[in-house]
Amino acid sequence: MISATQIRGARAMIGMSIEELAAASGLPVETVTALEKGDFAGEPHALFDVRSTLEAHGIIFLSSGNQDEGGPGIRLRARTSSDDGIRPENLNAANDD
């Protein structure tokens, strides 16, 4: 199980709005807002849908116990070699966003 804090943090880490997460997961904005407040009752599939969507965007959920210190958390999946981003010499106004 993931926590409301992990959902909020994961969404912030990848720069996704509540509206974008709702659309990507196929849920109403109100449901995603409720999940971020810790209200997991009512729609058990909603938590699974949000988690799956965030994981598809590169989030890894950490449970307590799989790190030396601390409790549950999040991290970004390591990039693959094919996703190196934009090299500094290729930066220009056209790709500045």
- Return the structure tokens found at 90: 């290729």
Mean pLDDT by runs of 10 across the 97 residues of the chain is 92 95 96 92 87 95 70 81 66 70
- Exposed e or buried b per residue across 22-43, where buried means at least 16 C-beta atoms within 10 angstroms of its C-beta: bebbebeeebbebbbeeeeeee
Q: For residue 60, what pLDDT is reported?
A: 94
